[in-house]
A and B are shown apart, each in its own frame.
Chain A
């Protein structure tokens, strides 16, 4: 199923690349957004505390507030779209929404297909095990099973570093909730995830977990950006300006303190 999804999305991207080359030059997305009066921002809706639904079924969180703040400063109405993470870039390229404000790590590979506004916060990679696990370091994970979210940068890291610390088996999941359940159920021995959301998740789920000490881990601090379609310098400038204003006038700090409990810029 997962392979199928990835294959389909990859196919979609390839098709986009082929056809995209032939489409004529078009106006900057900013005009279209101003005209419609809406900034459509995509996120998975399943990544607390950055974006998730509250009990009233409203999408809230750090990302949602940042997206709303940017839209308001641009003088348009924010519209939050929730969509599955593994197709989120394909959806942006297909024009289903204007931007992804969904805690996306800025990578060179992604920069080939989208442009990034920001970074709007920094996060880091963490390796977590069950509280009572005997695993003390990455070396102890030799022969163990590692859980990651499909399509996240941690999946790539886990694949590239398999073998380096002995050998580990990689299993991919839909998101943090599934990873935590699998870790607790003992189906995976360790999970590789962003180190901020997991703290909130642990508090919520009551799971007992421990972070491995990995001082030199690649990606210990990474930049998280807001994705827009390529070739939109005016939209990029307008969103960057809005973000900068929010960071300068204290709005950003207020949002960060509310959802994360720390200024994470």
Chain B
């Protein structure tokens, strides 16, 4: 182990880890928004909207995230979508994780007993009121853990954007291996930094989970 070298390059890995954090946070925000929209579509009364929601989930869960990133980044310009690597990474990862978020959110909503909606409706609440006042507060608690699992998967999956020239943690390690020929040391630094990021995210999820736990 070349500890001297590891110490010298670690600041640059930390900077790269910040890129990983940024890309993960932004795609998480997009993914949650897409998840909310997707779940609304999947549970909509209109058949067309349901089909749309199902298509979104099937396409983005049914194909590799890597291919989605390639289609967006390399194929996009052919149809007039020319994104820089970072934006393509955020949008690609966000759309992908959004499909998983859709299913987690839908699962949580469906898990709230149907009788509760019916009871709320019979009390004169509108469909929207029943959702907001009765179902969502209960479903929200059920969502925290699955959404947390998705978020951790997203952070680790962000390594994929190294293939579309985003210089984040993984590509930084690969570039350094190219010039130092020390794969163990370089990947070890990257792995430790990933662990720190994932640990932080997991703590945040655990905090939310405890905060909203039902006594």
A residues within 8 Å of B by Cβ? 4-5, 8-9, 11-12, 15-16, 19-20, 42, 44-48, 52-57, 81-84, 87, 90-91, 93-96, 174-177, 180-181, 201, 204-205
Contacts and interface: CB of A to CB of B under 8 A. Distances in A.
A5 B75 contact: no
Given A56-B12, A82-B175, A94 B77 contact: yes
Contacts of B74: 8-9, 12, 87, 90-91, 93-94
A55 B8 contact: yes
Contacts of A56: 12
A15 B71 CA distance: 10
Interface residues of B, number: 35
Q: Does more than half of chain B's interface fall in helix, strand or loop, or is it mixed?
A: helix
Given A5-B163, A81-B165, A54 B67 contact: no
A91 B165 contact: yes
Given A4-B66, A8-B70, A84-B162, A175 B178 contact: yes
A181 B180 CA distance: 12
Interface stretch (B20-28, B146-154, B166-174, B201-209): B166-174
Interface of B: 5, 8-9, 12, 15, 64, 66-67, 70-71, 73-79, 82, 85, 162-165, 167, 171-172, 174-181, 183
A5 B177 CA distance: 21
Contacts of A205: 181
A12 B163 CA distance: 14
A84 B172 CA distance: 12
A175 to B, nearest CB: 7
A30 B214 CA distance: 65
29 contacts: A4-B66, A4-B67, A8-B66, A8-B70, A8-B71, A9-B70, A16-B78, A19-B79, A46-B179, A53-B176, A55-B8, A55-B9, A56-B12, A57-B9, A57-B12, A57-B176, A82-B175, A83-B164, A84-B163, A84-B171, A87-B163, A87-B164, A91-B74, A94-B78, A94-B82, A95-B82, A96-B77, A204-B179, A204-B180
Nearest to A54: B179
Given A9-B70, A12-B70, 7 more contacts: A4-B66, A20-B78, A45-B175, A47-B178, A53-B178, A91-B165, A177-B181
Contacts of B66: 4-5, 8
B183 A177 contact: yes
